[in-house]
Structure 1
Amino acid sequence: MGYVFFIPLFIIGFFLFLSIFFIVKQQTSAIIERFGRFASTRSSGLQLKIPIIDRIAGRINLKIQQLDVIVETKTKDDVFVRLKISVQYQVIREKVYDAFYKLENPHDQITSYVFDVVRAEVPKMKLDDVFERKDDIAIAVKAELNEAMINYGYDIIKTLVTDIDPDPQVKAAMNRINASEREKIAAEYEAEAERIKIVAKARAEAESKRLQGQGIADQRREIARGLEESVEVLNNVGINSQEASALIVVTQHYDTLQSIGEESNSNLILLPNTPQAGSDMLNNMIASFSASNQIGEMMKEQNQKNKNNQKEE
């Protein structure tokens, strides 16, 4: 009969012995309560407790944790926007007691403070300022959270504004404005490029005309020099100036006809081709020169009379 009672006692004793030992993981603290009252905190490793008297009330994670909070609020220019605030926090090792007993749900507490700060800061800004000053929002959230959560044993490591999402209609309008602005800039650049091409083309044409005019002037100068030399050569052999001019005109007339005849792709050109053609052209030229000289002399006399009349007056 003694063995019958010994076996249950042995089993109970064995389990009580095993309940003395417990393991705490790395970056974790265990809360030990004795008769329902806080007794101590235990760090990582193999730990001991008194069976039945002591119990593990809970475990606290000492790692850096992250909480993402979505806040919807309105900006100064009456645009609704959703902000995603990422809060990185950690339990202070020396304040495990406060973190475990003072707050029932730290996530809800942090979320409430984030809502309060964001809805106080964002309505002061226009939508464009929210994008440009998101770091200011994050700093304000961190400062407020640090001041509040330090008393509960939590340290706010960093706060980040990870997303800013305006109303879909506002976002579409902003995209249209941005596209219009880019199209305007592109049009300005295209107009400037077109202006540069037009100016360059005009300069090229002006230079071409200048060179063409210079070429024509040089050509006429050389023709005049050649005619002068031809007349001088003919005078040396006893031909007077009028006869020399007639001979040169007739020679050039037939040279022109010959060059036209050699050009197979030329258009049809009608020129006088009678024996008197060269003489007629020469007479017409001489008559034109004479008339021009007479008109020039008359204009000089008229200008001189006008000057005399002005002096007499």
Structure 2
Amino acid sequence: MDNIPIYVILFFAFFIFLSSFFTVKQQTSVIVERFGKFQSIRQAGLQLKIPVVDKIAGRINLKIQQLDVIIETKTKENVFVKMKVSVQFKVIQTNVFDAFYKLEYPHDQITSYVFDVVRAEVPKLKLDDVFERKDDIAIAVKRELNEAMTTYGYDIINTLITDIDPDPQVKNAMNRINAADREKSAAEYEAEAQRIRIVAKAKAEAESKRLQGQGIADQRREIARGLVESVDVLNKVGINSQEASALIVVTQHYDTLQAIGADTNSNLILLPNSPQAGSDMLNNMVASFTASNQVGEAMKNAKKRAPKEEFNRPDYHKLTEPKPEDDTPPENKV
């Protein structure tokens, strides 16, 4: 011992002194063993142990951890899907001993339970139901894990199904089905819109025709009223009704010709179109009105004079027919 330098002894003493102290981080527990046997659980802070005799066996993380498990399974209609299940768990602080000594590989244990539950639940469901009821599957996984992992000192905080990925061919088929359904809905909406447009157009046309007919009726009513007033004015100056009607027709005829002639873009041609033609038309109308009045008066007088039996004889009407009117135009008569 005398040959060992004093500074070596001091160095070893200082090393042993420092190894007596250790620190534990927050949200962490340390397992201390003495000669291979469990001694104590140390929490956060500065801790003391016997050098060489006591040993730190392990550290337990008390924070919430997440384990992502990817599982491939099939649905009720034999469609294979890949599911990603995220398990959030932590070690119960009061059960650190069980978590450290009872379970060697906690991640593998949790993964096995997730596989078992998912492959028991998903084959009962169709693919569409898997998407709709993923929360039910997650709840079943959490319930099964809690029952199993609580014994080992682990608390399952939550389980989430974060991804459901069907086979690519199935996914493409689902996309085509959805696209076809959307196209069908779009076609139905377009047809309904077209029907509404057609109905609205038909109602508008019907209303337009009704208003147009009402306008034409009002126009004709006003024309007839104007003609009646015109005939009354002409009667007051000594022109009878037949001549007044003929004069009005001729006046309208020339008014029409004037309106057509005023339009420079008109291609309409009226034949014949001469003063003599207008005069002939006026004479013919006057003669027709006069003949019609004469026939009517003769028929009335005959009915008054002749007995009913004689009036019904076949040759009676021949005797009462008026004599033919002279066809000589008025301007050629003396």
TM range (shorter): 0.7 to 0.9
Partners of 2:108 and 2:94 in 1: CA distance = 23
> What SS class does the counterpart of residue 4 from structure 1 fall into?
coil
| Aligned residue pairs, count | 291
Deviations 1:183-222 (A, max 9, x none): 1111111111111111111111111111111111111111
Task: Name the structure 1 match of 2:318.
Answer: none
Task: Name the structure 2 match of 1:131.
Answer: 131
Instruction: For 1:251, give the aligned amino acid.
Output: T
Task: Name the structure 1 match of 2:164.
Answer: 164
Measured after TM superposition, the shift of residue 66 of structure 1 is 0.3
Seq. identity, %: 75
Partners of 1:74 and 1:288 in 2: CA distance = 102
- In the alignment, structure 2 segments of 5+ residues that lack a partner are 295-334
Alpha-carbon spacing, 1:98–1:69, altered in 2? closer, same or farther (3 Å): same
Task: Give the structure-2-normalised TM-score.
Answer: 0.82
CA contact (8 A) 1:72 1:81 kept: yes
Task: Name the structure 1 match of 2:248.
Answer: 248
Measured after TM superposition, the shift of residue 283 of structure 1 is 6.1
Superposition pairs for residues 81-92 of structure 1, below 5 Å?
81-92=81-92
> What SS class does the counterpart of residue 66 from structure 1 fall into?
strand
Alpha-carbon spacing, 1:182–1:279, altered in 2? closer, same or farther (3 Å): farther
Alpha-carbon spacing, 1:59–1:240, altered in 2? closer, same or farther (3 Å): same
> Structure 2 residue aligned with 1:278, among 279, 282, 288?
282
Measured after TM superposition, the shift of residue 98 of structure 1 is 0.8
CA contact (8 A) 1:79 1:167 kept: yes
CA contact (8 A) 1:35 1:53 kept: yes
CA contact (8 A) 1:30 1:56 kept: yes
Q: 1:98 aligned to 2:102?
A: no
Task: Name the structure 2 match of 1:182.
Answer: 182
Larger Rg: 2
Measured after TM superposition, the shift of residue 180 of structure 1 is 1.0
Measured after TM superposition, the shift of residue 174 of structure 1 is 0.8
Instruction: For 1:225, give the aligned amino acid.
Output: R
Instruction: Give the aligned CA root-mean-square deviation in angstroms.
Output: 2.2
CA contact (8 A) 2:242 2:290 kept: no
Alpha-carbon spacing, 1:196–1:276, altered in 2? closer, same or farther (3 Å): same
Partners of 2:136 and 2:190 in 1: CA distance = 40
Greater shift in the superposed pair: 196-205 or 153-162 = 196-205
Task: Name the structure 2 match of 1:214.
Answer: 214
Measured after TM superposition, the shift of residue 266 of structure 1 is 2.1
Superposition pairs for residues 38-187 of structure 1, below 5 Å?
38-187=38-187
Task: Name the structure 1 match of 2:260.
Answer: 260
Instruction: For 2:77, give the aligned amino acid.
Output: D
Alpha-carbon spacing, 1:241–1:94, altered in 2? closer, same or farther (3 Å): same
Partners of 1:121 and 1:289 in 2: CA distance = 107
